A and B are shown apart, each in its own frame.
Chain A
Amino acid sequence: MPRQTFSYIACPLPATDAFPNGQTVYRPLVVSRLTAENGKTFLCVSEIDSGADQCVFPTSFAIALGLDPLTMKQQITGGVGSTGNVTHYANLTIEIGNMTDVNGTMSFSSLLTFKAYVGFLAGLESQGIGLLGECGFFENYPVTLDHKNRVFHIG
């Protein structure tokens, strides 16, 4: 697979006591197309996250894909600031790519595809994005994070 290069996405954050002038963080975000085994699909945003053991998404994504958390296998997971997260699992095909413009029409252009057994948990609802973690993603692709130059490479 040829190496694919993506740009970090600038995310401006509001002022806080610790950062009264606000701050801009740069995140390795990609557009992802999720496809369930039933064929249902949609586009979302995911973050490349080597700190995540698995690929995980908000529970609402499972429902949008026609999956029923009540019938899915589950386990308890934990993360920074949260424990006891009920996480439901399903097999997905995940495509990573760019939004491209062809003659003024914006569409998703898939650059790489992999299959993964992914988790869905309510704790990601507030962020509304997926995390592409070690199992399923990093185990299959070498990733280089070049934050200094605000790019990252996959493959």
Chain B
Amino acid sequence: MAAVAINLSDILKGIPAGAWVAVEQYRVVAYGADMQQVLAEARKRGAREPLILKVPDRQETLFL
């Protein structure tokens, strides 16, 4: 069992800045502006335990 280096920039390519994203099995299973809807949609599509993250908003570069 090896740790996976997930290339998020590849997976998130084309997803709008600021969107919530559900990722499972190396692909985006749902995305949108509302985190609850994204999680619900991912589960509806059969995602068992999706990783929830957010595409950085281009207006906020550094997180201090």
In the complex, the answer to whether B54 meets A129 with C-beta atoms within 8 Å is: yes
Q: Residues on A close to B: CB < 8 A? A: 7, 11-14, 16, 23, 25, 27, 31, 33, 41-45, 47, 58, 60-61, 63-64, 80-81, 98-102, 105-109, 126-129
Which 10 pairs between the two chains have the least Cβ-Cβ distance? A128-B54, A98-B3, A60-B35, A13-B61, A43-B51, A101-B4, A99-B4, A80-B64, A45-B53, A100-B1
B64 touches A106 (CB 8 A): no
Q: Known: A81-B64, A106-B26. Contact between A99 and B53, CB under 8 A?
A: no
Size bracket, chain B contacts: 20 to 34
Give the complex CA separation of A31 and B63 in angstroms. 18
The CA of A61 and the CA of B51, in the complex, are separated in Å by 12
Beta-carbon contact of A14 and B2 below 8 Å = no
- A106 — which chain B residues lie within 8 A by C-beta? 4, 6, 24-26
Across the interface, name the chain A residue whose C-beta is closest to B19: A128
A63 to chain B, nearest CB (A): 6
Considering the complex, give the chain A residue whose CB is closest to the CB of B27: A106
The verdict on B32 contacting chain A, using a C-beta distance below 8 Å, is no
Q: How far is the CA of A102 from the CA of B35 in the complex (A)?
A: 28
Given contacts A60-B35, A99-B3, A106-B26, contact A42 B62 (CB under 8 A): no
Contact A98–B4 (Cβ < 8 Å): yes
